[in-house]
Amino acid sequence: MSTQTVSRARPLKGTASVPADKSVSHRAALLAALSDGRTTLHGFPRAADPQSTLSCLRQLGVSIDVEGDTVHIDGVGLHGLQAPSEPVDCGNSGTTMRLLAGILAGQPFDSTLTGDESLRARPMERIATPLRQMDAAIRLTNGTAPIHISGRAEPLHAITYRLPMASAQVKSCVLLAGLYAEGTTTVVEPVQCRDHTERMLDLPIEVDDSDVRHIHVTSEDGPVATTWAPLPGDFSSAAFLLVAATLVPESEVTIADVGLNPTRTGLLDVLQAMGADLTVTDRTETNGEPMGTITARYAALEGITVEGAAIPNLIDEIPVLSVAAACAEGTTVIRDAAELRVKETDRLEAIAEVLTRMGVSVSEQEDGLTIVGDANALAGATVRSFHDHRIAMAAGVAGCVAEGETTIQNAESARVSFPAFWDVLHRLQG
């Protein structure tokens, strides 16, 4: 078990870079494997989750060459994957497992998807339900992984599927399965969530009179080999540094080449509504994904209510948003975030425990948190990371503004998404 001790920070100054966006990287690698030709991904992250996707593709017969942080993937086409010789190990990556399930549901061979203890505890019925409606033969293990998928000689059956929750993983699973279906598969999305998959496949989208999106895919919408130069930086990783700079007096931190997909950057809007000093410059686009440079400066924050349609676009940032709320003047209420209870850990319970141990007044609700802000109340403590990368880094940010020392247990879990986080946090203090 590794621990990390964080003391009240000196002003954070300078520039930083973050790993490539995990959500984009997963999808870019999977679609590269299903294309005809070679795809090159510059800046592919070395974090554990995207590397799990590469490992799984190799198990399925895909040739992948790695040169530093550049990855070359030789696509095998929609129907060129090979039967794995053993269960396909997705590590800790729920994105890998749920998206691969959609692809493997349409293959002519049997396969099994498994992962580590944490991943095997996460709910998978949410993808099994639509895949079964498409006539895929899916067998779960008590509602979770391992997932057993039987091969089929015929195409899947196209369906129209209305998402019961705002989940980009479920949406992407169905859209990828739709590449193997006869007819047009449509995903109906009442609340928009991250849209990387439909952007990369350039899928047709209709918006009805109620502003509900209908995303269509057929077997003719297969991916095309391409080059990403570079992959956009991960906004979710940048969020920890942006919040730290916002909370530590006299700080100013700039992060370049960050992904600015509007379905991912809800935290920017929420922080600005709380009074944060954030600017975005150098806007550009790569393969349909917007990106740019974000600068954060110290600012006093005020508590607000965050709920409804705002939640899906900042779901991964709620742990560090909770830290910002703990330092804001007044009360912050977070609602409609029950999805956080079925992530790598129960993130609502986890961040509530971290902040409570550090002297913050936090109460849990079934779908959220109520946090009474008081920057002067934060005191160093020994806290658990729950082996969750986002909880570990959020605790690190809280430690930057707490009186005394904060010790984070199992701090190495940060490497799942941001391997250099602790080094970067230290370097920005000069």
Q: What are phi and psi of 77, to 5 degrees?
A: 80, 170
Active site residues: 316
Nearest to 107 by CA among 67, 137, 72, 85: 137
Beta bridge partners of 42: 70
Q: Which residues contact 134 (CB under 8 A, 6 or more apart)?
A: 105, 156, 157, 158, 159, 174, 177, 181, 185
Answer yes or no: are the C-beta atoms of 352 and 274 closer than 8 Å: no
CA separation for the pair 61, 33 (Å, rounded): 10
Dist. CA 369–CA 372, nearest whole Å: 10
